[in-house]
Each structure stands twice: as structure tokens, then as C-alpha cells.
Amino acid sequence: MVTRPAVPAVSPAPDIQMDSASERIARQFAFLIECDRLKDIFRQTLNTGSLRNENDAEHSWALCLFAMTLAEHSNVPIDLPRVLKMLLIHDIVEIDAGDTFAYDTARMADQHEREARAADRIFGLLPADQAASFRALWDEFEAKETAEARFATTVDRLQPMLLNCLTEGVSWRRNGVTHTQVLARNAPVADGSATLWSHICGIVEEAVRAGHLPA
């Protein structure tokens, strides 16, 4: 039986004087080890194969693949690498703050505050310059003002819609979500890509016709 070490084995002992390169790597490894916990944060959406709940690490990978594959449908030209970096780190705050279900409006009230505290702690594990640049990416994603943040949001909403349609809307029905709510919640897909919004709306309509999502 293996127990998770309380202190990561690669943290520098505080009494050891290290050169700055070693200290940078130690901080970077401490951050990466902490981020491994994202694999244990589960979402409401089901995966299509196993029909178990998707976790945030899988979700983050899937969003990057969606962005890489679908970037040509962005309403405006985007810097794809910036979108990918944003998506890689956008959910890391949920290690502390947990996943907030997209239709849980009560819990969404203090979501940003909880997540901002998590961002302080987790990005703060990195060397200061990287902590600042990763935090800036996360703030940009949250603000949804740049074309890159908008396209990142497009795939972040599109992918769960698609997974829900492919798993007979179980997660929607389990949570009493209606077609009207799905359209209202996910309308920001169109801010990044009118084409993808039109396409996914057609797929969602099929789910409604099939009885997988109440009108």
C-alpha cells in the first residue's frame, strides 16, 4: 500500500542553499506535482466510452485538442498557442475551489472569489516571473475580453455540450437542466465562433427530439 507523501519528495529542504537554477526547478516541480491533483477533480459531464464522470485533466486536454482542430472557425484571427496555454491552466484553480456545475447559480455566486484565492496559492508555487505570467493567462481567460479568451470559452462550453449529446443527456437530465437553460448558458460559444454555435445547436436540437433534453 502506497501513501501519498505529505511533503513532495522533490521540495528543497529549507536548510540547503541552492543555486538559482536548482531552486527554479524545485519550485517548478512543486507546482507540477500539485497540479497532478487535477486528475481527481471530477465534473458533471460523462465520457463517451466508460460513461464515468470526466475529470479536469482530461477535460483540459480535450479542450486543447478541440481548439487545435477547430481554430479555423474562430470569428476573428486568434493566437492559437495563447489559447492552448490558457486552456492548459484554466481549471487548475479547481484543485482548491472544486468544480462548480455550470447550472448551479447559487454556488456560482462566490465562484470567482474562491478561484482567485486558489490561483494565488497554486500559481504562487512557481518562480515569481512564471507565477505572474501564468496568473495573467488565467486572469485573461476569466475576463473573456480578448479574442483568445473568447475562443477558449467557446471550446470550454462546446465540448461538454457535445459530450452530453453523445451520452443521451444523462448529466443534463440528472440535474433538471432544460433546452432553454442550455442555450442561455452556452450562448458565449457564438462570441468565439458563430459557425460552431450554429453546428452545436443543431446537435442539441437532435438531443431534444430524441428526448434526451427537456424543452
> Rule CB under 8 A: which residues touch a second copy?
2, 4-5, 8-10, 21-22, 24-25, 28-29, 31-33, 35-40, 46-51, 54-55, 57-58, 60-62, 64-66, 68-70, 72-73, 80-81, 84-85, 88-89, 126, 130, 162-163, 165-168, 170, 195-196, 199, 203, 206
Residue 109 CB, nearest approach to a second copy (Å): 28
CB 122 within 8 A of CB 105: no
Choice between 106 and 202, CB closer to a second copy: 202
CB 43 within 8 A of CB 99: yes
Instruction: List for the chain the helix, strand, coil content (%; round to 5).
Output: 65, 5, 30
Choice between 31 and 151, CB closer to a second copy: 31
Angle at CA of residue 36, ends 43 and 64, nearest 5°:
60
Choice between 150 and 169, CB closer to a second copy: 169
Q: Tell me the one-letter amino acid at 180.
A: T
Residue 106 CB, nearest approach to a second copy (Å): 28
> In whole angstroms, what is the distance from residue 85 CA to residue 82 CA?
5
Choice between 70 and 149, CB closer to a second copy: 70
Dihedral (Cα; 128, 133, 135, 139), 10-degree rounding: 150
Residue 63 CB, nearest approach to a second copy (Å): 9
Residue 29, all three cell numbers: 516541480
Residue 195 CB, nearest approach to a second copy (Å): 7
Residue 33 CB, nearest approach to a second copy (Å): 7
Phi, psi of 213, deg, nearest 5: -145, 120
Choice between 76 and 81, CB closer to a second copy: 81
Residue 56 CB, nearest approach to a second copy (Å): 9
Burial class (CB in 10 A: 0-12, 13-18, 19+), 142: middle
CB 77 within 8 A of CB 147: yes
Choice between 10 and 109, CB closer to a second copy: 10
